[in-house]
Structure 1
Amino acid sequence: MTRQPGLDVPAPVRVLMVMEATIGGTKRHLLELATGLHKLGCEVSIACPRIRNESHGDTSFWDDASGAGIPVIELPMERGVWSPTNLVAVRHLAVLLRRHRYDVVHAHSSIGGAVTRIAAQIVPRSMRPKVVYTPHGFAFLAGSAVRRNMFRLIERLLGLVTDRMIAVSPTEADVAVEHGVVPRDRVVAIPNGIDPSVMPGPEHRDDVRAREGWGDAPVVMTVARMTPQKDPGTWLRVAARIAAACDDVRFVWVWGGDQQEMVKAEATRLGLGGRIDFLGYREDARELVSASTVFLLTSRFEGLPYVLVEALAMQVPVVATDVTGTRDVVRHGVTGLLAPVEDVEALAAHVLSILDDRERGVAIGLAGKQDVEDRFSIAQMVSHTLETYRDVLHSGSNGR
């Protein structure tokens, strides 16, 4: 980063953000971070696919980013690790980095992170930007032993050419260090932030319930992609246990994904067919969450889940698995309840305890709202990220 002649203030930081996963929480994070940095004077551009190759229903990222005044460069990428498309993306991205001479290239999620860090090594050292990487959840935390070991090795190798890692939660930063991805002095935790003022308030609850046909029934819901990371099988088994104990509860799943047909078939097998609504992608997901009784998330791992932060901001009690990222959001017994991964009995018992004691649910909801306002600010997320960029630009090369 150079200084403008005759001025005491540094020149604007020129940042290229790269991401393949243009949906869900990573989409939210990138849009809010890019627009926030832009408002602080950074010159921000985004390189990403026009549409992600997944059945999810959300194709709005490109238009949203462009509408916010952020230049968007089409860079086709795919989820498959060994996809030929990603190899082509490496070459195209290397050309972009040489041509535009960015100060920082900030990669998001595993595919964007791999493509970016390999591309940066192709660029001559004198033209190479500083490389910052945000995992948004490590893929090596779930799956078979072979899969975990492969992804851990990839992250360790790419960690050698990463100037700074920004973890979206303290526990994600701890995982990076414990698994040898990067040393402690090259990782910083900057939690995701939200704007509580845009969350739907309780005054909309009755209208939403009437519109959706829920009436006064207790509603247990989630907003999650139907992928192995979110463990929909456990979610459905928990729902079946709750349904057996509470005959008026309804279940709602917002979003789709790779396992959609399998999930629907399993719901039917478990006898949930008449009591669960699969709504697919919904623009009004926040309103639906605000009108629910309990928010249930059964992830195997997370970065820092926006859906939980938003549920807490809307005073909805949360029950979730005690995993990386989630335990940074939910304070067990205070702002929600946690249970081990795949522990159907414990998760169901937690949900039923809230359904049986509505006053406790209200108290948890109020505590959650206050906690979010205290700890998860967009302004802090953006300013701390800019501080990290400036620090890595002034500190020289750490990872190479």
Structure 2
Amino acid sequence: MAVASTPMRIVHVSPYPLERTSGINRLIELLAEALHAHGFETFLVAPGISSRPHEGYLRRIPVPIKSSRARNSILALRTFSIVIRNQPVDIVHVHQAHLQSLAGLVAARIRGIPTVLTLHLRLRATSRLRRLLQSALLRTVVALAKEAIAVADLVAADCGLSEVQVIRNGVPIPTEPARAPNRCSTPRLVFAGRVTASKGIFVLLEALATVDRVNPISLITFGPVDDSREYAAAKRRLGLESRVEDTGVDPGWLQRTNSDDVFVLPSFYEGMPLALLEAMANGLPVIATPVGGVPEVVIHGRTGLLVPVRDVRTLADAILWMAAHRDEASAMGREGRQIVAQDYSLGQLARAYESLYRRLLRVPQDALALTSAGPKAALRR
């Protein structure tokens, strides 16, 4: 496709901090890189004080914010100011039903800029009042957005929406699976993402301790530890300190996996997790929970095993099954890789959003005039 003479500027609005590991921010980065060659400039407005250098395809606009009860309101107001003041912007693309997203959508509507909302997952409310507020916010942002997108059919259903377009998350598909040089003599579990309770890490530790009495299987984690004190205490209490290797954030984590590894993600809630797709794209069999869009790609008995949320015993049984059936597990990994390559590639994701953006920009709105406006200054905070 021919590249536009004047780049189209897409401003993404994300509530997740720039300094924190986030699948949503990672997806924005992948999309920005893929679309850069097709005439798109991408900006990411998100909380944080990022010192990371700007890539040629993505400019991060940090929104300094302190932890407080008014954090979300302050974040929303500052995001509104960024979107309303900066010229020119062609499309505002917000993520999640968040107060910040509402602010970005309102600012864009005032300016006559087309908008996109992507729903990645529906968070679980902790009280009836919070559930009512979340539902009201969800309905409002969906109504305000020119286009509403869900990352999976099951995510759309979980949000109670039937009139939204589904654009599946996508990841790079390697020509050959990345592999560590040395193969392990016994299966190893791999966990990638935030090492935190909502990702099921403590359930995984309990299951690993159960398994350890039968088969001494190890676990390697890639990602930041949210509560290092509680996590260390759990490993010590369960006698797993020698069985678990925590590497921290490692962008090249897939290069440290091998063909006998099993990817495990026993999350309490998810959308369509990128780490899961990346593991499957690299041919790893999977054990996961049937949350969000996960069952659309982890087909029980074909590409992996699904276990109930918080079910230590069933998770332990699934781990033991993978260890005892290594040929079957490898076949699951191969089929999973085929499914991800067919339906969840970064190329498919980029083409879908490029088509959506170009369709929105053909609508006669002020954004068309902005696209052809003169020199484009960097976004201001």
TM over 0.5: same fold? yes
Q: Deviations for 1:157-216, whole angstroms, at most 9, x for unmatched residues?
A: 33332222222222112222x2xxxx533x2111111222277534x341xx6xxxxx52
Match runs of 1:326-345 below 5 Å: 326-345=294-313
Paired position in structure 1 for 2:375: none
Which AA in structure 2 matches 1:32? L
Paired position in structure 2 for 1:188: 165
Root-mean-square deviation (CA), in Å? 3.0
Match runs of 1:346-365 below 5 Å: 346-365=314-333
Q: Secondary structure at the match of 1:196?
A: coil
Which AA in structure 1 matches 2:121? G
Which AA in structure 2 matches 1:71? R
Does the C-alpha gap of structure 1 residues 367 and 120 become closer, same or farther in structure 2, counting only changes over 3 Å? Answer: closer
Distance 1:337 1:329 in 2: 11
Determine whether 1:17 maps to 2:12.
yes
Q: Which of residues 145, 167, 190 in structure 2 aligns to 1:162?
A: 145
CA contact (8 A) 1:103 1:129 kept: yes
Q: Which of residues 124, 131, 135 in structure 1 aligns to 2:115?
A: 131
Distance 1:337 1:396 in 2: 49
Which AA in structure 1 matches 2:329? G
Distance 1:271 1:145 in 2: 39
Higher relative contact order (CA 8 A, sep 6+): 2
Paired position in structure 2 for 1:377: 345
In the TM superposition, what is the alpha-carbon distance from 1:124 to its structure 2 partner? 6.7
Paired position in structure 2 for 1:75: 63
CA contact (8 A) 1:290 1:314 kept: no
Q: Secondary structure at the match of 1:345?
A: helix
Q: Deviations for 1:83-142, whole angstroms, at most 9, x for unmatched residues?
A: 17x5255245434434314231011245xx4214224425673x23222122322223x6
Paired position in structure 2 for 1:173: 156
Of 311-320 and 289-298, more deviation after overlay is shown by 289-298
CA contact (8 A) 1:222 1:297 kept: yes
TM-score normalized with structure 2 length: 0.83
Q: Secondary structure at the match of 1:242?
A: helix
Paired position in structure 1 for 2:94: 107
Match runs of 1:1-400 below 5 Å: 13-21=8-16, 22=18, 23-51=21-49, 62-63=52-53, 66-77=54-65, 82-83=70-71, 86-87=73-74, 90-91=77-78, 93-109=80-96, 113-122=98-107, 125=110, 127-140=111-124, 143=126, 145=128, 147-176=130-159, 178=160, 183-185=161-163, 187-197=164-174, 200-202=177-179, 204-206=180-182, 215-246=184-215, 248-290=216-258, 293-393=261-361
Of 97-106 and 369-378, more deviation after overlay is shown by 97-106
In the TM superposition, what is the alpha-carbon distance from 1:391 to its structure 2 partner? 3.9
Q: Secondary structure at the match of 2:288?
A: strand
Distance 1:78 1:169 in 2: 33
Distance 1:80 1:387 in 2: 40
Q: Deviations for 1:230-254, whole angstroms, at most 9, x for unmatched residues?
A: 12221212212221221x3112222
Distance 1:376 1:302 in 2: 16
CA contact (8 A) 1:199 1:313 kept: no
In the TM superposition, what is the alpha-carbon distance from 1:382 to its structure 2 partner? 0.9
Does the C-alpha gap of structure 1 residues 306 and 88 become closer, same or farther in structure 2, counting only changes over 3 Å? Answer: closer
- Decide which structure has greater helix share: 1
In the TM superposition, what is the alpha-carbon distance from 1:78 to its structure 2 partner? 6.4
Percent of residue pairs identical: 27
Q: Secondary structure at the match of 2:174?
A: helix
Distance 1:364 1:123 in 2: 45
CA contact (8 A) 2:48 2:65 kept: no
Unpaired stretches in structure 2, ≥5 consecutive residues: 366-381
Does the C-alpha gap of structure 1 residues 88 and 384 become closer, same or farther in structure 2, counting only changes over 3 Å? Answer: closer
Does the C-alpha gap of structure 1 residues 95 and 367 become closer, same or farther in structure 2, counting only changes over 3 Å? Answer: closer
CA contact (8 A) 1:106 1:133 kept: yes
Which AA in structure 2 matches 1:173? A
In the TM superposition, what is the alpha-carbon distance from 1:291 to its structure 2 partner? 5.6
How many pairs were matched up? 360
In the TM superposition, what is the alpha-carbon distance from 1:262 to its structure 2 partner? 1.2
Distance 2:96 2:11 in 1: 15
